[in-house]
Structure 1
């Protein structure tokens, strides 16, 4: 258990409020089950900047728009994303854009931008729509349905078809398990490979994903296709630089995970609240019918205002990535507090999106808070950050929103779903949020 121990004499940064938690383990349990990231308690007790202990390490926790905005702005280049995230997901998603910094990050992002232009996104939409049509045909026409596992399979199919140019086929189940295990390993309390535990499963998951992708590289290099895998193999920056094979594989693993896991969380939350609030479901359905098309085109994405409001509110209430990690590469100050070099910094975005000072009745589903003239999200430039901010703002943000709208458009046109009036979706906050019960709904094709 040495990896969980902390010296009881240890204090956080001088003058900064905080506490070390329980003897020996600190807040490791709260970190592992997600409650540390989602709780407002530390903010109420210590304010926007405080320190704590978990996983045998000292963390500075950052809450509120002023503190989060300053870290994301990173004006003195003191905060690094790579070593911050590496403590959680480094062995499983190393080489992904989120784990790169400064000049290296800039080089990779410049090349990768070529795969996320408006023209490329429009090209991904055709296969995406076809995959959704095929996937929904496999859903039962009427009866009870566990929404989360169904939509997770669909988003994985969408990601692999759009990003790789072909459906997974018999590999689908094995790769889904590999992604799940790699993501869950981020909050493992035992952080070395004990067989059967989260960390070991995550390492195995990474190997499975590499073994699936690497043999396909020669074919993708040989012919330029419309899929993301091919785009990464052929993308160049203005100076003609390209990705190596290892870089392509690492970026594909990270993007495939992000594209289907965060979209699954958003679609599940959106489906839950539209079931709880049928008046909003009918409002969104009417707008989809008014478009007069079974599938969205790229030009249609901004023509569903009610769905857009509901999407924003769903991502506020259940933030797909509840927190963001950074690591100080030099000493810096944050809202007057000194933070030494080599310190882990944890930004609590879930809490940011539930501060009642800015969001009245923050746990209530109220899409109109994003409509004119209310625009509660505009009270502070760093108040609503579901995709992060600054140089590490999610590069797949527009693809993700396109995917969610395209899938929900077809669901609204083809089906209606509901939950019992007194049902409340129980959330598992380990790693990325998901319903503990799979979100059972009463489902009927129209």
Structure 2
């Protein structure tokens, strides 16, 4: 009898189009609602819900998608108690050749084994070591940013996180080697959005595949050394981690996981920090409250244990991710015929849930369009009405393994930023956001850093 992962792997590459029994629309011939999907994803989802209800279909990016909205839908898809949905098949179309065999591109039994092994790199001793490395890297990086004049925050934080990632994840210092790694990584990420996917020299896809090959060779050349090492970077931790039955990763599996972790951690944290700093600049009273909290720690370098004391920073982190989840929609592929609230979902259908929509539902959130970190305080605890109403990190089997790391990294960055600098934006500025596939500022997010001393 075939395993669940094998069943998923045998599905056609292209999802089923036999979904017309679901209320919805196909839009324009061929392209469907692709332009609306890319330009105004929240508006598209809101219009579909208003017209067709909480379960609907639409066509975008060359496929028909059944979309389920709300916390119950999130639980049905993400918890996936009956093992009806594949993450791998949903993401393969976009990521397979560039980031193959990452944790998000594994399913069921196979995913469980690999997740258990990778958890070793996210345990407390490892996290403590990561925090020690983050402090000087962020402090030095911020000191080199221009002050007193507008900068494009997106460009600066992207570069800072790339440089920090080279050291934190791979254990390599900045220099020509790290620069080449970063260039190759950026080429691979850019290629994940390429429309023309042919290996023609000069194209985005060609550069991406070339970048992937370099990363494989470079990381592969270090695996043996890392297996012998006792360093405290992610690379070494993953090489030493073991599963429940003492399983260890092969060299190729280490390579695939490291490249995918670089991708997953860098892009989502870039998105999150852009949104966090924008909200703090937009709401200076919260910026000042966090600064007071940070200065009350009385230290130049925050420790792992100090992070728990940054309670207001935690509230702002959660509220920012409610309003600006890095991944606004989470795709899956049905591997069996199944049913949700009377709607039949056929095998091989493309299915998606929308954290961004859930995060603004008035049934669960008071004044959802208002920035209100206190809604996550123990006294109000608005996020506890339904276990799947706040899902910026997904949920269930595939809940982001690095969710604690993301909060830690964000807190360390904000600690180093706010204890030294005031962040300001132009009066009346509203950050325009490209929501899909990942939430990032369209204009680079112009802001000004002013030294406090």
**Residue 35 (1) aligns with residue 31 (2):** no
Structure 1 residue 199: Cα displacement: 4.1
CA distance in 1, matches of 2:423, 2:399: 33
- How many matched pairs? 438
CA distance in 1, matches of 2:185, 2:149: 29
Q: 1:38 to 1:237 in 2, by over 3 A?
A: farther
**Residue 159 (1) aligns with residue 165 (2):** yes
Q: 1:409 aligns with which of 398, 406, 415?
A: 415
CA distance in 2, matches of 1:259, 1:11: 33
Q: 1:50 aligns with which of 51, 56, 64?
A: 56
Give the corresponding residue for 2:85. Answer: 79
1:59 touches 1:343 (CA, 8 Å); kept in 2? yes
Structure 1 residue 350: Cα displacement: 1.4
Q: Deviations over 1:107-142 (max 9, x none)?
A: 101111111111111121111112112212212343
CA distance in 2, matches of 1:181, 1:204: 8
Q: 1:354 to 1:183 in 2, by over 3 A?
A: farther
TM-score by length of 2: 0.91
Give the corresponding residue for 1:97. Answer: 103
Structure 1 residue 349: Cα displacement: 1.4
CA distance in 2, matches of 1:208, 1:298: 34
Q: 1:178 to 1:336 in 2, by over 3 A?
A: farther
Structure 1 residue 411: Cα displacement: 0.5
| Higher mean C-alpha displacement, 22-31 vs 417-426 | 22-31
CA distance in 2, matches of 1:56, 1:407: 39
| Higher mean C-alpha displacement, 360-369 vs 297-306 | 360-369
Give the corresponding residue for 1:225. Answer: 231
Give the corresponding residue for 2:265. Answer: 259
| Higher mean C-alpha displacement, 280-289 vs 217-226 | 217-226
CA distance in 2, matches of 1:301, 1:90: 36
Paired residues for 1:103-118 under 5 Å: 103-118=109-124
Q: Deviations over 1:120-169 (max 9, x none)?
A: 11121111112112212212343322211111112222222121223242
Q: 1:38 to 1:230 in 2, by over 3 A?
A: farther
Structure 1 residue 88: Cα displacement: 2.0
Give the secondary structure class of the aligned counterpart of 1:92: coil
**Residue 397 (1) aligns with residue 426 (2):** no
CA distance in 1, matches of 2:71, 2:207: 36
Structure 1 residue 181: Cα displacement: 4.0
Give the corresponding residue for 2:391. Answer: 385
Structure 2, unaligned runs of 5 or more: 1-13
Paired residues for 1:17-416 under 5 Å: 17-33=23-39, 35=41, 39-193=45-199, 198-416=204-422
Give the corresponding residue for 1:423. Answer: 429
CA distance in 1, matches of 2:401, 2:138: 23
Structure 1 residue 210: Cα displacement: 2.0
Q: 1:339 to 1:306 in 2, by over 3 A?
A: same
2:166 touches 2:178 (CA, 8 Å); kept in 1? no
The CA RMSD over aligned residues, in Å, is 2.2
Q: 1:69 to 1:226 in 2, by over 3 A?
A: same
2:88 touches 2:107 (CA, 8 Å); kept in 1? yes
Give the corresponding residue for 1:3. Answer: none
| Higher mean C-alpha displacement, 266-275 vs 162-171 | 162-171
Q: 1:76 to 1:238 in 2, by over 3 A?
A: closer
TM-score by length of 1: 0.92
| Higher mean C-alpha displacement, 46-55 vs 320-329 | 46-55
